[in-house]
C-alpha cells in the first residue's frame, strides 16, 4: 500500500476550489502510454497548468496498473526536471466497482471516479457512499456521476443520453459526500458525438451540433452552489485531424465533437474538470498516418511516435490556453 502523497501527487480538492473561484477548468487528459504522458507533462509545464492524469479501466488493462502508477510518479519527477513543480492528480476514470476504486487508492491514486450512473438512483448512492468512505479515510477525492452520456468506447457505452435531473443533485451530494459531480448536459464519449441529421449548417457549410444544455447546468448550480462539476465527453474532434486521417487511408465518418467555444463557456462556471481523450487519439493517429504514408521507408518507431508526441503536445497546449483557461494557474 502506498499513499499518493509519497509519490508527489495531489488530490483534486484545492485545485477545484481555485478553478471555480478563478473561472477556469482543470484539464483531465487520459493516458495509457509513455508518449501521451510526456506530451501532457510538457504541455502543462510549458503553460504552467495544473493537470489531472486520467486512467480508464481499459487503459489499466492495456498498460498494467503498476506501470501506469510508476509513470504517474515519473510524471511528477519529469515536470520538476522540466523546471516546474505543477500540481498533478492521478485519477481513475469511470471506476465501476468498489474493489477497483480501492485497488487504485491502495496503489497511489489521489482521486477516483465511481461511475454508478447506469444504476438505479439508490444503488448509485449506496455504491458511491461506500467508495467515498474508503477514499476519504485516505484523503483521496471522489467524483460521482448522475445522468448518462451517450457514446461508445472500450469500457464505457450507452446508446442514448439521459440528462442529469437537477432535482436529484442536492440529495446525491448530501447522501454520498462526493467531492465532485459529473453531469450529462449533451456531451458524449468518442469521436462520433452527433449524427449529421442532428446538426445544422453554418454560413461556411460547417456542421454545427445542438448546443449543450446550459439550462440544466444553471439549474444544477442553483441547487448546489459552488460545488465542483465535471464534464465528460468533451473532445471537440478537430476537423483538420479527421481530414488528415482520412486523406492517408483512414475511414472516420461523421466525426463531430463539442464546439470549443461552448466548453470555454462551461469552464467559466462551476465546471472545473473537463475530460478529453478522443482528441488526443485523433492527433496521434493523424501524425502516425501521415508519416507512414509520406515516409514509407521509415521503420524506427521513434520516427513516428516522436512527431505524434509533438502533435499531442500542441493540442494539449491549445486546450489549456484557449479552452480550459488553466494556463498560469499551477
Ligand atoms: O470515457 C472514457 C475514456 O475516453 C476512456 O476510454 O475505455 O476506451 O479507455 P477507454
Ligand atoms: P472524449 O471521448 O470526448 O474525449 O471524452 C473523454 C472522457 O470523458 C473520459 O472520461
Ligand atoms: Zn468519461
Which residue, judged by its Cα, is nearest atom 9 of ligand 1?
Answer: 58
pLDDT tens across 23-55, in order? Answer: 999 999 999 999 999 999 999 999 999 999 999
pLDDT tens across 101-129, in order? Answer: 999 999 999 999 999 999 999 999 999 99
Helix locations, 82-156, DSSP H? 98-107, 121-136
State which of 232, 237, 238, 260 you would mutate to test the pocket of ligand 2, scoring each by most atoms of that ligand within 8 A of its C-beta: 232
Mark 232-263 as b/e (b = at least 16 C-beta within 10 Å). Answer: bbbbbbbeebbebbeebebebeebbbbbbebb
**Residue in this structure with the C-alpha cell 456521476, named with its chain if needed:** 145
pLDDT tens across 224-272, in order? Answer: 999 999 999 999 999 999 999 999 999 999 999 999 999 999 999 999 9
Which three cell numbers mark 128? 458511491
Tell how far the Cα of 126 is from the centroid of ligand 3, in angstroms: 21
Q: pLDDT at residue 150 above 90?
A: no
Protein residues near ligand 3, an ion, with CB under 5 A: 232
Q: pLDDT at residue 180 above 70?
A: yes
Tell how far the Cα of 236 is from the centroid of ligand 3, in angstroms: 14
Predicted pLDDT of residue 13: 98
Measured between alpha carbons, how far is 58 from 40 in angstroms, rounded to an integer? Answer: 19
Question: Taking Cα atoms as reference points, which of 245, 249, 247 lies closest to residue 286?
Answer: 245
Q: pLDDT at residue 155 above 90?
A: no
- Closest ligand to C-alpha of residue 277 is 2
Is 261 labeled as catalytic in the residue annotation? no
Asked whether 277 lines ligand 2 (CB < 6 A), one says yes
Predicted pLDDT of residue 205: 85
Measured between alpha carbons, how far is 148 from 162 in angstroms, rounded to an integer? Answer: 5
Asked whether 234 lines ligand 2 (CB < 6 A), one says yes
Asked whether 235 lines ligand 2 (CB < 6 A), one says yes
State which of 60, 68, 94, 191 you would mutate to test the pocket of ligand 1, scoring each by most atoms of that ligand within 8 A of its C-beta: 94
pLDDT tens across 50-100, in order? Answer: 999 999 999 999 999 899 989 999 999 999 999 999 999 999 999 999 999
Q: pLDDT at residue 288 above 70?
A: yes
Cβ distance 189 to 152 under 8 Å? yes
The torsion angles phi and psi of 182, rounded to 5 degrees, stand at: -85, 135
Question: Taking Cα atoms as reference points, which of 231, 232, 225 lies closest to residue 21?
Answer: 225
| Max Cα–Cα distance, the chain, nearest Å | 60
State which of 56, 258, 274, 281 you would mutate to test the pocket of ligand 1, scoring each by most atoms of that ligand within 8 A of its C-beta: 56
Atom of ligand 2 nearest to the CA of 281: 4
Atom of ligand 2 nearest to the CA of 277: 4
Ordered structural domains, the chain, with CATH: 4-324 (3.20.20.70)
Question: Taking Cα atoms as reference points, which of 146, 96, 148 lies closest to residue 122?
Answer: 146
Cβ distance 53 to 15 under 8 Å? no
Asked whether 184 lines ligand 2 (CB < 6 A), one says no
Asked whether 60 lines ligand 2 (CB < 6 A), one says no
The torsion angles phi and psi of 201, rounded to 5 degrees, stand at: -105, 135
Cβ distance 27 to 52 under 8 Å? yes
Asked whether 35 lines ligand 2 (CB < 6 A), one says no
User: How many beta carbons lie within 10 A of that of residue 325, not counting itself?
Assistant: 21
Cβ distance 231 to 269 under 8 Å? no
Asked whether 117 lines ligand 2 (CB < 6 A), one says no
Measured between alpha carbons, how far is 30 from 111 in angstroms, rounded to an integer? Answer: 14
- Closest ligand to C-alpha of residue 63 is 1
Percentage of the chain exceeding pLDDT 70: 98
Tell how far the Cα of 36 is from the centroid of ligand 2, in angstroms: 15
Percentage of the chain exceeding pLDDT 90: 92
Residues whose CB is less than 8 angstroms from the CB of residue 101 and which lie 6 or more positions away in sequence, other chains included: 92, 95, 112, 114, 131, 134, 135, 142
Amino acid at each position: 500500500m502506498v499513499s499518493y502523497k509519497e509519490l508527489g501527487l495531489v488530490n483534486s480538492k484545492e485545485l477545484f476550489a481555485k478553478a471555480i473561484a478563478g473561472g477556469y477548468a482543470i484539464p483531465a487528459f487520459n493516458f495509457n502510454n509513455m508518449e501521451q504522458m510526456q506530451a501532457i507533462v510538457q504541455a502543462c509545464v510549458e503553460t504552467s497548468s495544473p493537470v489531472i492524469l486520467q486512467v480508464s479501466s481499459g487503459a489499466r488493462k492495456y498498460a498494467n496498473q503498476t506501470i501506469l502508477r510508476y509513470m504517474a510518479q515519473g510524471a511528477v519527477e519529469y515536470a520538476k526536471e522540466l523546471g516546474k513543480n505543477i500540481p498533478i492528480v492521478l485519477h481513475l476514470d469511470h471506476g465501476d466497482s468498489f474493489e477497483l476504486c480501492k485497488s487504485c487508492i491502495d496503489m497511489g491514486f489521489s482521486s477516483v471516479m465511481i461511475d454508478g450512473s447506469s444504476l438505479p438512483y439508490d444503488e448509485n448512492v449506496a455504491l458511491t457512499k461506500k467508495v467515498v468512505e474508503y477514499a476519504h479515510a485516505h484523503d483521496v477525492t471522489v467524483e460521482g456521476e448522475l445522468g448518462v452520456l451517450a457514446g461508445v468506447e472500450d469500457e464505457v457505452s450507452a446508446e442514448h443520453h439521459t440528462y442529469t435531473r437537477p432535482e436529484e443533485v442536492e440529495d446525491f451530494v448530501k447522501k454520498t459526500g462526493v467531492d465532485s459531480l459529473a453531469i450529462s448536459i449533451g456531451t458524449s464519449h468518442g469521436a462520433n458525438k452527433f449524427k449529421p441529421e442532428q446538426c445544422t449548417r453554418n454560413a461556411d457549410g460547417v456542421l454545427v451540433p445542438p448546443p449543450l444544455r446550459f439550462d440544466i447546468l444553471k439549474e444544477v448550480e442553483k441547487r448546489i452552489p459552488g460545488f465542483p462539476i465535471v464534464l465528460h465527453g468533451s473532445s471537440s474532434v478537430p476537423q483538420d485531424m479527421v481530414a488528415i486521417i482520412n486523406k492517408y487511408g483512414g475511414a472516420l465518418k461523421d466525426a463531430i465533437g463539442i464546439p470549443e467555444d461552448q466548453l470555454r463557456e462551461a469552464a467559466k462556471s462551476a465546471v472545473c474538470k473537463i475530460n478529453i481523450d478522443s482528441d488526443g487519439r485523433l492527433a496521434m493517429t493523424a501524425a502516425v498516418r501521415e508519416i507512414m504514408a509520406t515516409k514509407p521507408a521509415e521503420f524506427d518507431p521513434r520516427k513516428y511516435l516522436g512527431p505524434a508526441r509533438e502533435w499531442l503536445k500542441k493540442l494539449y497546449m491549445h486546450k489549456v490556453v484557449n479552452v480550459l483557461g488553466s494556463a498560469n494557474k499551477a
